[in-house]
Amino acid sequence: MSDRIVSWHTSPSKPNFVPPPGAVDAHCHVFGPMALHPFSAKAKYLPEDAGPDMLFALRDHLGFSKNVIVQASCHGTDNAATLDAIAKSNGKARGVAVVDPDISEEGLADLHAGGMRGIRFNFLKRLVDNAPKDKFLEVSKRLPKGWHVVIYFEADILEELRPFMDAIPVPLVIDHMGRPDVTQGPDGADMKAFRRFLESREDIWFKPTCPDRLDAIKEGGKGDPWNAFAEAVAPLVADYQDRVIWGTDWPHPNMQDEIPDDGHIVDMIPRIAPTAELQHKLLVDNPNRLYWAD
Ligand code: 0GY
């Protein structure tokens, strides 16, 4: 494994956009600290430490109130780092776990007590070796009450995943809209396919997130200020405004070439959700319904 990666901006700007009171950064991660929470032997990247203190300082700097911490692939199925961060948040964080599908009922109950409200299935081959659909489906049928499944995939396997996703009996939350090619525009083939999927069930939520990944120069985009992303994504947010949640994606796993400024990431919010009403749904109402319903 190569040297440890710093994938985040070390002095992000203060955004111009001021999030509404109670705003939730509903997609972020913690890395380590490694001395306390070693990375998985199967990790595909080895990051520098980006622990809870750093996450909470960023939350305050950007003007957010709460976090949903998604277990990152570099920690495998050992959720200790994410649980530790939730425990240190004074009730201001909840989480999404990654589990061994054979996890016991007690194991799931412990995760619930630790603040987890969902599990994540990651289908990105560059991040995980194995994504067993049959086992994922089995565990999705015995989740604690009120939980959901977060799914991370790329647009080219959306159709292939449909039978699997259609069979999951709890709400679905799709990371980064299933990574459409935003340079195709709001009516491009990827956006159309994603819209068809959203129309298939009313309990599919999604994150209109990661302009830095989806509109990156190396992905064929133009980079910050991510105009193609704003143009492609704003109509989707308007049309599905009760099913969207938003997050920074800090500490931006793997983003080494075009490390995003988190202040600029936050300034994308009014470009995809231009009214105060939309912003309140995206940042306050919707994430609270999913993560703080109890
Ligand atoms: C993201 C995206 C990525 C990484 C992970 O768990 C992870 O390592 O999710 C990625 O590399 O695209 O949402 O954090």
100-146 tens-digit pLDDT: 999 999 999 999 999 999 999 999 999 999 999 999 999 999 999 99
Q: Is 148 left (phi over 0), alpha (psi -120 to 50) or beta?
A: beta
Distance from Cα 72 to the centre of ligand 1, integer Å: 6
DSSP 96-147: EE---TT--HHHHHHHHHTTEEEEEEE--TTT-S---HHHHHHHHTTPPTT-
Please say if the pLDDT value at position 94 is more than 90. yes
- pTM comes to 0.98
**CA–CA separation, 97 and 149 (whole Å):** 10
Decide: 212 in ligand 1 pocket, CB within 6 A: no
Length of the chain: 294
**C-beta separation of 290 from 173 below 8 A:** yes
Q: Are 263 and 13 in contact (CB under 8 A)?
A: yes
248 in ligand 1 pocket by Cβ < 6 Å? no
- Report the pLDDT value the prediction gives residue 225, as an integer from 0 to 100: 97
Under a CB-based contact definition with an 8 Å cutoff, are residues 151 and 172 in contact? yes
Q: Whose CA is nearest to atom 3 of ligand 1?
A: 253
How far apart are the C-alpha atoms of 283 and 286, rounded to whole Å? 7
Hey, which of 124, 151, 252, 255 would you mutate to test ligand 1's pocket, going by the most ligand atoms within 8 Å of its Cβ? 124
- What mean pLDDT value characterizes the chain? 97
Q: How many CB atoms lie within 10 A of CB 248?
A: 26
Over residues 192-196, the mean pLDDT reads 98
SS3 content of the chain, % helix, strand, coil (to 5): 40, 15, 50
Q: Of 113, 68, 120, give the one whose Cα is nearest residue 94.
A: 68
CA distance 292 to 287: 8
Find out whether 179 and 156 touch, Cβ atoms under 8 Å. no
pLDDT at 268: 98
Q: What is the predicted pLDDT for the residue at 1?
A: 46
Query: CA-CA distance, 294 to 292, in Å (whole number)?
Result: 5
Q: Which domains does the chain have, with CATH numbers?
A: 24-291 (3.20.20.140)
Is the pLDDT assigned to residue 230 strictly greater than 70? yes
Element spanning 172, H or E: strand 172-174
Whether the bond into 33 is cis, omega within 30 of 0:
yes
Mean predicted confidence (pLDDT) in 216-227 = 95
Helices 52-62 and 80-87, packing angle to 10 deg? 50
Tens digit of each residue's pLDDT (9 = 90 or more) over 170-183:
999 999 999 999 99
Nearest alpha carbon, ligand 1 atom 9: 72
Long-range Cβ contacts of 38-41 (<8 Å, 24+ apart):
39/74, 39/75, 39/76, 40/73, 40/74, 40/75, 40/76, 40/77, 40/78, 41/76
**Residue 3's pLDDT band (boundaries 50, 70, 90)?**
confident
Residue 99, pLDDT > 80, answer: yes
Q: Which residues are catalytic?
A: 249
Q: What are phi and psi of 96, to 5 degrees?
A: -125, 125
Per-residue pLDDT at 53? 98
pLDDT at 2: 53
pLDDT tens sequence across 241-271: 999 999 999 999 999 889 999 999 999 999 9
Query: DSSP secondary structure string, 206-230?
Result: E----HHHHT-GGGTS--TT-HHHH
Indicate which atom in ligand 1 lies nearest the CA of residue 252. Answer: 14
